[in-house]
Amino acid sequence: MDQFVLAAAEAEEHSPLMPILSEVVLALIVFGILFFIVRSKIVPMFEKAYAERTAAIEGGLQAAETKQAEADAKMAELEKQLGDARHEAARIREDAREQGAAIIAEMREQAQTEAARIVDHAHTQIEAERQQAVTSLRAEVGSLATSLAGRIVGESLDDDARQARVVERFLTDLEAQQGQSNAGAN
């Protein structure tokens, strides 16, 4: 071993700064091979892993974004539906109120018409009855007056007491007559 070292040392003084051609050529070839392997195999495979990883991450992000957008759309739709429903409810309430008011007005009008009709009817009836009463009263008063006059004429009309008595008796008769006719009518 030492002989080699010594032999090398004793060999012609080779400057370490002077490249040896065989080493230059060897390094060129060896590095060329390495470069070829790295270029054709190693870098593409690492880049493939990088690209796949980027795609996976971006895909995940994109999926999340899509989900978010979907959720937002759904939310908006629900809110819109809610608003519509509120609007609809308000509209229905308004309609009901209007309808109620209309019904009340109609009923009031009907009631007033009916009342007027009833009053009218009553008036007519009352009038008729009054007419009837007047007619019968007229006839009765006539006959009564005739009979009373007959009585009064039949009796002496000299004093007031007798006169009063006659009138009293007549009325009592009249009442009894009335009660009989009433009972008979009944």
Partner 1 sequence: MSVTGTIVAAAESGSDGFHAPGPASFDLPAIFHVGGLGVTKPMVLLLLSVVVISWFMIAASRKAAVVPGRLQFAGEAVYGFVRNTVARDTIGSEHFMKFVPYLFSLFMFIIVNNYYGIIPLLQFPSFSRIGFIVPLALASWLLFIGTGIWKHGALGYLKHATMPGGVGGPILVLLVPLEFISNILVRPFTLTLRLFGNMFAGHLLLILFATGGAYLLTSGNILYGGVGILSFGMGIAVSFLEMLVMFLQAYVFTLLSAMYIGEALAEEH
Phi, psi of 12 (to 5 degrees): -55, 140
DSSP state for residue 186 in the 8-state scheme: -
Torsion of CA 149, 151, 153, 154, to 10 degrees: 160
35 vs 91 by CB, closer to partner 1: 35
Residues belonging to the chain: 186
Q: String of b and e for 62-87 (b: at least 16 CB within 10 Å)? A: eeeeeeeeeeeeeeeeeeeeeeeeee
Cα separation, 80 vs 129, in Å, equals: 72
Using the rule CB under 8 A, is 157 a contact of partner 1?
A: no
The dihedral region occupied by 17, where left means phi > 0, alpha psi between -120 and 50, and beta the remainder, is alpha
Listed ranges 30-38, 124-132, 146-154, 158-166: which one lies at the site for partner 1 (CB under 8 A)? 30-38
Using the rule CB under 8 A, is 126 a contact of partner 1?
A: no
Using the rule CB under 8 A, is 61 a contact of partner 1?
A: no
39 vs 123 by CB, closer to partner 1: 39
Using the rule CB under 8 A, is 133 a contact of partner 1?
A: no
Using the rule CB under 8 A, is 154 a contact of partner 1?
A: no
Using the rule CB under 8 A, is 8 a contact of partner 1?
A: yes
Using the rule CB under 8 A, is 43 a contact of partner 1?
A: yes
Among the listed residues 38, 75, 92, 139, the single contact to partner 1 using CB under 8 A: 38
Please give the residue ranges that form the binding site for partner 1 (CB under 8 A).
1-2, 4-9, 11, 14-24, 26-28, 30-31, 33-35, 37-39, 41-43, 45-49, 52-53, 56
